């Protein structure tokens, strides 16, 4: 490895980076989700840029069975971890080893995310500067077909003594990092990585790096503020830090954007637990504060609705009326009569309701009202129109909460958004009666419905409590 010249006037960035302390880490886990899976093995190698100065490795009891697939991949079985320490028994050692060190991993987002979630369960906010050897290798060592740990090590002649075990993979990552550090062009990319992916030349002139470092990698709303605390811009996102970094790292290529960056003095945030509540809260605050650099919200109130009514013979009908129409049930509400007509036409066309209307007309002409035919007609019409918005009209959406021991709930009653809340599933059973009690009431409108429907489409396995 290139050595620093002691007597040189200018110390290169490479020399500075080679003197940093790196905590090279690998974890094996029960699965790929930080929210629901647990660590079963961890290894930490402290590397000073030239040699290993300390190591730590341990199996970890995940308090759950290990899937046979994971055992086949790693060789770690439930029996092996039965007497292993819990994460809370090793967490202090990891804190001490990584203190003031740079957290390094191959695909750091995964390893850091798993460890950060374990600390979150203990009520500790674990934050470290991070380097990803996947990203660094792609930039410093271009031209390889694959940058997975196994393939890049094979390509570079790095031997992995114990693949898919924490210490073996961490040891291989140290060797890869050593090669990366030896390249003259590594300093530029390491600097960007250490600045959380931010090119410092693009950072708004009066915004400090500390403002970015304090931001969590959690769902919520972030707020750009000026020197007196006025909100300049806001957004609701799944990962606050990632979104802010992406936003401010893009070029300020318009006069309006440049002006916003010149006015920025800080970034605040409000956690939400998940993206759906983040989007709902952002829209609420957008209407309340009307930030200068956000697009103005379209305050579209419901004016018309598709009503489910009954004719003189008991057949269901779909009619469009103003939302305050006194009879029938408003199934789907719209911000204009034209929108209501467009959607109703689509429902009729896509579900071939014309054939059901024809059957109804024939029965009326004959003057014979068959109960079976009437019931079938009504059931199909009702099911079809209600299904356009949601599968159920009265339901709660259960999601992730802000804290590890809580869940969130969003309530819709008769297709109307009522609000959201948080609860501890160990203390509160998720019944409709209990969930109603914890709801913070909010306003419903056309845009809120769009947000909820869009988020439900993204949530393939959303837990729904209907009534």
Q: Helices marked H in 292-398 — which ranges?
A: 337-350, 353-366, 371-387
Distances (CA, A) of 178 to 39, 49, 52, 104, 143: 27, 7, 11, 12, 19
Is there a catalytic annotation at residue 164?
Answer: yes
Rounded Cα gap, residues 1 and 362, in angstroms: 89
Asked if residue 94 lies in contact with residue 42, where contact means CB atoms within 8 angstroms, the answer is yes
Rounded Cα gap, residues 29 and 117, in angstroms: 12
Find the largest Cα–Cα distance for the chain.
106
Asked if residue 333 lies in contact with residue 302, where contact means CB atoms within 8 angstroms, the answer is yes
**Rounded to the nearest 5°, which phi and psi values hold at 407?**
-125, 160
Handedness of CA 243, 248, 251, 252 (dihedral sign): positive
Catalytic residue among 164, 247, 289, 403: 164
How many other C-beta atoms are found inside a 10 Å radius of the C-beta of residue 130? Answer: 17
Q: Helices marked H in 36-132 — which ranges?
A: 68-74, 78-81, 87-98, 108-121
**Rounded to the nearest 5°, which phi and psi values hold at 84?**
-75, 155
Rounded Cα gap, residues 313 and 308, in angstroms: 14
CB neighbour class for 30 (10 Å; exposed up to 12, middle 13-18, buried from 19): buried
Asked if residue 193 lies in contact with residue 242, where contact means CB atoms within 8 angstroms, the answer is no
Catalytic center residues: 164
């Amino acid at each position: 490895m290139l050595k620093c010249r002691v007597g040189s006037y200018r110390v290169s960035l490479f020399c500075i980076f080679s003197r940093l302390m790196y905590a090279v880490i690998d974890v094996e886990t029960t699965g790929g989700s930080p929210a629901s899976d647990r660590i079963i093995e961890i290894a930490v190698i402290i590397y000073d840029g030239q040699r290993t100065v300390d190591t730590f490795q341990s199996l970890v009891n995940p308090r759950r069975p290990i899937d046979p697939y994971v055992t086949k991949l790693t060789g770690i079985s439930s029996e092996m971890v039965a007497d292993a320490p819990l994460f809370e028994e090793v967490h202090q050692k990891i804190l001490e080893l990584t203190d003031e060190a740079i957290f390094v991993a191959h695909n750091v987002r995964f390893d850091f995310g798993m460890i950060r979630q374990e600390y979150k369960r203990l009520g500790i906010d674990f934050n470290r500067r991070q380097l990803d050897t996947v990203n660094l290798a792609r930039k410093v060592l271009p031209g390889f077909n694959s940058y997975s740990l196994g393939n890049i090590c094979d390509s570079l002649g790095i031997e992995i003594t114990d693949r898919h075990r924490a210490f073996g993979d961490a040891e291989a990552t140290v060797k890869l990092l050593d090669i990366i550090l030896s390249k003259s062009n590594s300093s530029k990319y390491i600097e960007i990585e250490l600045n959380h992916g931010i090119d410092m030349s693009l950072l708004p002139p009066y915004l400090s790096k500390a403002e970015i470092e304090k931001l969590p990698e959690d769902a919520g709303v972030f707020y750009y503020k000026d020197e007196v605390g006025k909100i300049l811009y806001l957004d609701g996102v799944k990962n606050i830090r990632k979104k802010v970094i992406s936003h401010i790292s893009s070029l300020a290529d318009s006069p309006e954007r440049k002006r916003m960056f010149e006015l920025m003095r800080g970034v605040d945030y409000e956690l939400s637990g998940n993206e759906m509540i983040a989007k709902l809260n952002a829209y609420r605050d957008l209407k309340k504060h009307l930030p200068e650099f956000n697009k103005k919200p379209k305050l579209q109130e419901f004016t018309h609705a598709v009503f489910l009514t009954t004719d003189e013979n008991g057949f269901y009908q779909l009619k469009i009326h103003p939302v305050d129409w006194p009879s029938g049930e408003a199934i789907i509400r719209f911000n204009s009569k034209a929108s209501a007509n467009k959607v109703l036409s689509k429902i009729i066309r896509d579900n071939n309701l014309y054939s059901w209307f024809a059957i109804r007309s024939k029965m009326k002409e004959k003057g014979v009202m068959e109960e079976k035919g009437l019931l079938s007609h009504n059931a199909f019409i009702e099911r079809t129109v209600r299904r356009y918005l949601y599968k159920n009209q009265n339901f709660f959406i259960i999601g992730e909460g802000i804290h590890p021991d809580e869940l969130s709930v969003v309530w819709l009653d008769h297709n109307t958004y009522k609000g959201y809340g948080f609860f501890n599933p160990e203390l509160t059973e998720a019944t409709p009666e209990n969930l109603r009690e914890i709801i913070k009431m909010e306003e419903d409108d056309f845009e809120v419905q769009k947000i909820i429907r869009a988020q439900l489409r993204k949530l393939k396995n959303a837990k729904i409590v209907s009534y």
